[in-house]
Every structure is written in C-alpha cells, then in structure tokens.
Amino acid sequence: MIKKLGTLALTFVLMITLALAGCANKTADVSTEKNKTREDINIRLKTNVDSLDPQLSSNDYSSNAILNMYNTLVISDSKNNILPCLAKSWEISDDGLTYTFFIEENVKFHNNKKLTAEDVKFTLDRALTVPMGSTYAFMINRTDIINEHTVKVTLKEPYAPFMEYLVLPFYAILNKEAVTAANGDKFANPVGTGPFKFVEYKDGEYLSMTRNDDYFKTPAKIKDVKFKIIIDQTTMTMALEKGEIDFLEELPGAERERFKKDKRFEVLEYPTNYLHYFMLNPNIEPLKDKRVRQAIGYAIDLEAAKKVVYDGAGEVNYTILRSDMFGYSDNIPRYTYNPEKAKELLKEAGYANGFNLKFVSVDTVAGRKAPQVMQGYLADLGITMEIETNEFGVYAQKITGSDFVISCCATLAQNDPDTLLYQLFYSTEMMNMPKYNNPEVDKLLDLQRKEVNEQKRKEYIKQIMDIVMEDATILPYLYREDAATYPVSLKGVTPKANCIHYIYDFYWD
Amino acid sequence: MYKYIIKRLMMLIPVILGISFIVFSIISLTPGDPARIILGNHASEEAVENLRQELGLNEPFIKRYISYVGSSIKGDFGSSYRTGKPVFEDIFGKFPLTLKLALFSMLLATALGIPIGIISAVKRYSIIDGASMIFALLMTSMPSFWIGLMLILIFSIKLDIFPVTGVENIKGYVLPTITLASFSMAIITRMTRSTMLEVIRQDYVRTARAKGASTKRIIFKHCIRNALIPVVTVIGINFGILLGGTVITETVFALPGLGTLLVSAIRMKDMPIVMGAVIFLAIAFSIINLLVDLIYAVIDPRVKAQYSR
C-alpha cells in the first residue's frame, strides 16, 4: 500500500514539476520596447567591493566597477590603443624618461572642486606609498607641477608600457582634499571626476551610482547604475533571464550556447589579457631537473584541457606572449602535446618509473578542474599527482611563499610584454613565485627595458624567451576569453582586453 | 522562576568564553594570512608585513586572545579587517534579514508541519498519512540549493511571479522562505506524528475514550499538549540553526544575510567579524533555548512546578 502510494506521489510531484517547467511560457520580457526608453542599468558584480578608493583595492572586479566614478589620465580602446581622457594630450621625451601631461581645464570633481595639476601629482605621489604601489607604480621617480594644468612625470628608467598602466583603476585621479580627509578609510564616500557619482554601497547587496550631469564631456546616456552583488553563477544567469540584471561580463563556457541561441540576448565573446599558467618550482626535487619540467610541458594536451576546464572558451597559449604582442615570434620554443618525448625526457632524467608530487590549487571552478586534467596526463607518465585544493587565503599564502611543487596562477598582461616577463621571471619579483633565479635572464630583462631601438629590444626578448621556455618554470596555458552577455537592446558595449567596461559608453536603443 | 532565568543567563558566560576560545584558536592556528588575503597576490612582502604589524597579527596567539577578551568585556569587539567598520555595525546590518527569514520560515514550517503531523498520526496508515510522510521524506532529502533553484526556475523564470534575487518587497521573501522552511517543516511533521502516536497509545487516552469523550476533545485536550514538548524543542533548535546557517539559501537568492557574512569572513580570515558573529549567534541560540524551556512551563504545569522549586 505504502509502496504503491509512494510511486504515485513521486509520479505526481514529477509531473507537476515538468508541467510547470515545460508548458508555462510566460517568460520574462527583457528585450521589448520598454527597454528602449530605459535610463537605468543593473550590472552583475562578482564580489563584494573591497574598497571605494581605487588605489587601495586589490580586486580587479571591484576596482573596475568603481572606476566608473573616476577618470584616468588616458583610456584604451578595444584594440588597446591609448586615447586621451583627463589628459587631453601628452609629450614623451626622446629618452623615454619624462612624460608631460596637459590636463583638461574644465573638469570638476563630484564635490564641485576643480581638477588641477595638484590632484594629479597627489594621486601619483600617493601611488608610490600604498601597498599595491610596488606592483603598479615601481617605475615612477617623481611628479612635478609645471603649471595649474600641466604635470611632468619622471620615470626611474625608460618604461615603454607606462601609458598602459595609466589606464588601470589604480591610476584613477583622486581628489586631494577628499582623500586626505578620508584618512585611509577604504569606504569613505568616493570623490572622482567620472561620469557617475556615488550614491550608496551596501556590503553584500549593491553599489549604486547616478549620472554626473556636470561631466566634462557629454553626460552619460544611462542615468542610474546599480551593481548587484551576485556570487552564484546559476543565480546570475537566471537573474539575467528574468531581467533583474542587464549585463554580466563573464558567462561561463557551458552556458554560452544556450544564450547564443536565445534571440533576446547578445553574447559578445572577447579575448582578454588575463594569462592563466602553471608554475613549476625549480628549487624542489624532482623538479630541480629541467628535463622533468619540460616533460610535464610535453605531457599535457592544452586544447583538450581547455575543453574540460573552460568548456572550450579561451585561446590556448604556448609561448607566454600572445601573437599580437610586441616581441612575439613564431620561433619561440614551445611545448606541444608529445607524450613520447615526455617519457623520453623523464627516462633521461632518471625517472622512468615516475614519482610523486603535489599540486597546490585554489577552490575555484578552474582551480578544481585544471589539476584533475593534469593528474590524468601525468598518470600516463607514471607520475602520481596529489591535488590539494585550498581556500583562497591558504593558497595565496602558499604560492607567495613559494611553498609548492606545482601550482597554478593567473595575471593581467599588458600589450607590451615587459611587465609580464619581469613579473614572471625577474629573480626579485613578487610574482615570480617559483623563485626562478637566472642572472642571465635578469640582465636581459633590464637591457630590453632600457632599449629604445625596437629591433634590438625584440632580439633581447627573443633571447629571454629562448631561455625561460627552455627552463620551463612557467607553463602557459591560455588567455582567458570572456563573454559579455546582455539584452540585444543594450548598445555601446565595447569590451577591452583588460576587462574594464566603461558604462559611459552604454545606452538603450 | 526569575531565579531560574538568571541562573540560565549566568551560564552563558562560561559557554561564550569556551566558544570564543575554540573559534579564536581555529582561526588563528589554521593556515592563511589575513594580511595577504586583503592585499592580494600582487602586494609586496613588505606591505604585507606592515599590515600584519598594524593588525597586531605578529603577537603570540595567547596574548592576542587575552587582549581580545579584555577589550570585548569593555564592549570593544574591534573592527573588520576588510571594511574597517566596527564589528557590530556589520553584524546588525545583516541580522534583520536573517531574522526575518528565520521567523517567516519557522512560522510556515510550524503552521504546516504540526497540523499535517497530527492528521497523519490520527489517520495512521491512511492515504493522507502515506502522502504526507512521503512528502516529508522528499523535503528532507532534497538539498536546499536544489529546491531553491527549482523554485526560481518555475516561479520566477517560467511563471514570472516572484523575483530571483533581492528582498525589496515582501514578494522577494516568498521563495527563500519556502526553501528554508521545507527541511524544518518535514522534521516537524515527522516529529509531531511520532510523538502523537506515542501519546495516543497512553493509558489516560484510553481512559478518556472509555469515559466517552469525543475524538476531537481527546486530540485537542489530552494529546496535543503532551505531544508538543519534543516538537517545541525541535522548533527551537531549528530556529537557532536558521539564524546562523542559511548560507546556501542566501547564496542561491543572492541575499546579504548573516550566514554569508560569516562564511566570507571565515574565508577572509576576518577574525573580528568571525568572533563577533559567533558570539552573537551563541547568545541568540542560548536565549532561544531558554525561551524554549520557558515555553515548556506554559505547556506542561509539571515543568513549571520544577522551575519554581
């Protein structure tokens, strides 16, 4: 009796679920006429805001969002060309050491104070003193005020990618008075010059902004901006379908096909400058032998791995540099999938029967999947890999302390390769987490940085690439590809490789 | 009675000291450096070291614990490492939502669970009994994130009745409340049914029947009161759990509650917030338990007599 009833009840529940899920077709309207006249936008934000002061933020998602309330001296277009913003023009000295910026004259901060060279100097000086300064402002020597609307920045040595740095939220121009008054409070009301003004931030809920009608260019077309903090990916896609959010910058690979077929939405895939890579620690046995590191490089089929880890999204990379970056050449050595060669190298190194090692990973989707894929490939070589998945805090402590045999990481590259190569390979750099130490590479890195002759610099970079690829402490994996997703009636979305979205450009039509 | 309440409240002190010490040790002794988490991978070792110094993380563990207890007795629970705001500003900012959700879902669970349980017990082995027990089994077996997602899929996406996220109006509470209530409701139903069945078999019920009391009178006058004591305990415990443990539901519906605050603070190793939230929840939990004990007295005069002794 009970059993029969059970079957009946279960069938009943399933039928109701299916009926409701299947038949009812009153789907949310997200792309109708009413969207065309809208002046507001809701954007998904992946994390809490970690600071409303862009120089104190260490989270790219958070700082990219708050950048909409600020301006930088220059901005970049989707091809990463540098365009004027607060600096209407600039001059670079022939020796590449001094940059003179001519600043727009009629710019007002949200507190009605005029923007002057004083604020620019204040921003750049402060950049040197904040914790992130050593990463973003290491090249600056000093900043001088020439007159009320002109500043001169002197670098320690010529540094080609300097302008690319100025685009980043870290260099958003701050109001001297407001920041001094805030006295290090990361959540003091932000005062920028940007197209949107701060309204409210509620931790775990939203960050809202409203249009700055006194903007120094044409005011934005969007009036009210709300960044809604939604961490869960499934909730995020459902909120998009329901029309509760209008824009998300990262649609997971597995969801892309579905949204591409949905005529209500635009799925705009774009390559980013975020490089994901594996790190092999050359100071710990058995990876001390470079043949073992090379073997690991040959052992993994990156294309196949990409399908599993990122559902096929992204651009697999073998050379650290991307083909459109300065200094890239087809002759850079690389590790393509070749299990035979891998076995041979292991045999030469005396590990024909494999060995044991541990992968230190982080608890994210990719952080869980990537080591599993690698585990399978390494098992083919007889290598037994144990995976240790850590929460972010433990992972960060381990990798920054070089406390791993093999691990993974990601970083934002610039179009100019200098930063990336410096960070990954210079002996004293923080981001050189495997603690790779090669005086020859250090010397070449310094040489290419100072070199003004492009041809010569290319040669230096080629030499660096030959050595570091041979030494294989960093195995590149892929450049992440993001997919901005939004209703078709939202226009003006022009993704940038650095993943900064300027809502100023957005409008409904 | 008042003596009893005061005695119970005094017992809070060792409980909270114990809890705070355990939590403090777990957070301090497990790996992960709050300064590194706050500043990220890119910050230099020097900057991280400075921040550690500033947050007082370089002091020995016991010294830090003692100074924490010292200042919290004076009412200073410190400020969040992450936001720099006083701990209780953050906690009280999140608590109303969590409290509302817990209250609503316990009301729903109780309002449905107890009657269903009683009917099941009275009409044992009937179709209603079978159906409600299977329903209860389903509700306890389905993970809450799945229930939440299904509810969103059906009622937000397909039928467009309730919002996916946010609690700007009362509509936003409906789906999270149902999601949260499902598990407690199932437990309450099963609990009510089994205790009712036990009570129905008691001698005094047979006596009542023998002297000719109506079934209605027997159920409402004689059985329910006696059957409710264990149910009230379950309701109390479930309510306490809901106050601190609605993380999954909060994540699915993107709600900024206390559970999410606590979990993200644990991830960030944001010690002051973790400590503040845990102490706060421990107090809330103890008070709820105390209330439950007091409700016993209302339901059962025998218990009341014990308290006043």
Straight-line distance from the first to the last Cα atom of chain B, in angstroms, rounded to the nearest whole number: 8
Cross-strand partners of A209: A198, A225
DSSP string, A296-336: HHHH--HHHHHHHHSTT-SEE-SSSS-TTSTT--TTS----
Residues of B in contact with A2 (CB under 8 A): 125, 130
Cβ contact, residue pair A185, B127, below 8 Å: no
Residue B93: left if φ>0, alpha if ψ -120 to 50, beta else—which one? alpha
Number of A–B residue contacts, CB under 8 Å: 169
Q: For B154-201, write each residue's pLDDT tens digit.
A: 998 888 889 888 887 888 899 999 999 998 999 999 999 999 888 888
Average the pLDDT over A29-35 and give the result.
64
* Distance from C-alpha of A64 to C-alpha of A66, rounded to nearest angstrom: 6
3-state SS class at B83: coil
Listed in sequence order, the DSSP H helices in A88-185 are 117-127, 133-136, 162-166, 176-182
Residues of B in contact with A15 (CB under 8 A): none
163-192 of B, contacting A, C-beta below 8 A: 163-166
Q: For A42-85, write each residue's pLDDT tens digit.
A: 999 988 898 999 998 888 899 999 999 999 999 988 777 889 99
3-state SS class at A200: strand
| Structural contact between residues A321 and A365, judged by C-beta atoms closer than 8 angstroms | no
Listed in sequence order, the DSSP H helices in A224-364 are 233-242, 253-261, 290-299, 302-309, 339-348
Asked if A234 is an interface residue toward chain B (Cβ–Cβ < 8 A), one would say: yes
Q: How many helices (H) and strands (E) does chain A have?
A: 17, 18
Average the pLDDT over A442-460 and give the result.
88
Query: Who's near A350: CB < 8 A, 6+ residues apart?
Result: none
pLDDT at B225: 81
CA A113 to mean position of chain CA atoms:
33
Among all chains, which residue has been given the structure tokens 């994130």? Answer: B145
* Per-residue tokens: B123: 């009409």
- For residue B121, which of B212, B209, B198 has the smallest C-alpha distance? B198
Q: How would residue B90 be classed by pLDDT, with cut points 50, 70 and 90? A: confident
Q: Nearest CB to A391: which of B32, B33, B154? A: B32
In chain A, what percentage of residues exceed pLDDT 70?
94
Q: For B26-85, write each residue's pLDDT tens digit.
A: 888 888 888 888 887 777 788 888 888 888 888 888 888 998 888 888 888 888 888 888
Q: Is B295 exposed, middle or buried (0-12, 13-18, 19+ CB in 10 A)?
A: middle
Q: What is the mean pLDDT of chain B?
A: 86
Q: What is the CATH number of domain B95-308?
A: 1.10.3720.10
Among all chains, which residue has been given the structure tokens 């999270």? Answer: B176
pLDDT at A3: 54
In chain A, what percentage of residues exceed pLDDT 90?
50
| Structural contact between residues B166 and B254, judged by C-beta atoms closer than 8 angstroms | yes
372-391 of A, contacting B, C-beta below 8 A: 390-391
CATH topology of domain A272-480: Dipeptide-binding Protein; domain 3 (3.10.105)
Q: Which amino acid is at B9?
A: L
Q: For A209-225, write each residue's pLDDT tens digit.
A: 999 999 999 999 999 99
* Per-residue tokens: B208: 């009542």
* Distance from C-alpha of B269 to C-alpha of A380, rounded to nearest angstrom: 39
DSSP state of A83: E
Q: For A108-163, write each residue's pLDDT tens digit.
A: 999 999 999 999 999 999 999 888 888 888 889 999 999 989 999 999 988 878 88
* Per-residue tokens: B264: 């993200």
DSSP state of A196: E
402-461 of A, contacting B, C-beta below 8 A: 409, 430-431
Q: What are the φ and ψ backbone dihedral angles of B261, each rounded to 5 degrees? A: -60, -45
Cβ contact, residue pair A393, B268, below 8 Å: yes
CA A479 to mean position of chain CA atoms:
10
DSSP string, A406-465: EEEEEEEPPSSSHHHHHHHH-TT-TT-TT----HHHHHHHHHHHH---HHHHHHHHHHHH
The whole-angstrom distance between B198's CA and the closest CA on chain A is 21
The whole-angstrom distance between A499's CA and the closest CA on chain B is 18
Torsion of CA A27, A28, A30, A33, to 10 degrees: 90
pLDDT at A160: 79
Task: Assign 3-state DSSP to chain B and report helix, strand, coil percentages, each to 5.
Answer: 80, 0, 20
3-state SS class at A105: coil
Please tell me which residue of chain B has the smallest CA distance to A51. Answer: B83
Listed in sequence order, the DSSP H helices in A79-154 are 117-127, 133-136
135-154 of B, contacting A, C-beta below 8 A: 135, 138, 149-150, 152-154
Q: How would residue B108 be classed by pLDDT, with cut points 50, 70 and 90? A: very high
* Distance from C-alpha of A383 to C-alpha of A389, rounded to nearest angstrom: 19
Q: Is the pTM of this model over 0.80?
A: yes
pLDDT at A114: 92
The whole-angstrom distance between B51's CA and the closest CA on chain A is 9
Q: Which has the higher per-residue pLDDT, A199 or B9?
A: A199
Residues of A in contact with B39 (CB under 8 A): 58, 131-132
Cβ contact, residue pair B39, A131, below 8 Å: yes
Where in chain A are the domains?
272-480
Q: What is the mean pLDDT of chain A?
A: 87
**Distance of CA A273 to CAs A288, A382, A480, A490, B223, Å?**
30, 35, 7, 25, 70
* Distance from C-alpha of B76 to C-alpha of B44, rounded to nearest angstrom: 31
- For residue A239, which of B97, B260, B253 has the smallest C-alpha distance? B253
Task: Assign 3-state DSSP to chain A and report helix, strand, coil percentages, each to 5.
Answer: 35, 25, 40
* Distance from C-alpha of A392 to C-alpha of B268, rounded to nearest angstrom: 8
* Distance from C-alpha of B257 to C-alpha of B91, rounded to nearest angstrom: 9
Whether the link from the prior residue into A252 is cis, omega within 30° of 0, is no
7-66 of A, contacting B, C-beta below 8 A: 9-10, 13, 17, 20-21, 24-28, 48, 50, 58-59
**Distance of CA B137 to CAs A168, A304, B124, B150, Å?**
54, 42, 16, 18
Cross-strand partners of A101: A90, A151
DSSP string, A5-54: HHHHHHHHHHHHHHHHHHT---PPP-SSHHHHT--EEEEEESS----SSG
pLDDT at A25: 46
pLDDT at A10: 55
Q: How would residue A23 be classed by pLDDT, with cut points 50, 70 and 90? A: very low
Residues of A in contact with B138 (CB under 8 A): 10, 13
Work out whether strand A265-280 and strand A474-487 pair parallel, antiparallel, or are unpaired. Answer: antiparallel
* Distance from C-alpha of A477 to C-alpha of A475, rounded to nearest angstrom: 6
pLDDT at A29: 57
Q: For B119-147, write each residue's pLDDT tens digit.
A: 998 888 889 899 989 988 988 888 888 99
Asked if A232 is an interface residue toward chain B (Cβ–Cβ < 8 A), one would say: yes
**Distance of CA A316 to CAs A278, B72, B241, Å?**
13, 53, 46
A441-450, A464-473, B298-307: segment of lowest average pLDDT: B298-307
Cβ contact, residue pair A187, B127, below 8 Å: no
Q: Which amino acid is at A331?
A: N
* Cβ atoms within 10 Å, residue A11: 10
Query: Who's near A58: CB < 8 A, 6+ residues apart?
Result: A50, A131, A132, B38, B39, B40, B42, B43
Where in chain B are the domains?
95-308
Q: Does residue A6 have a pLDDT over 80?
A: no
Q: Is the ipTM of this complex over 0.95?
A: no
A76-85, A172-181, A230-239, B106-115: segment of lowest average pLDDT: A76-85
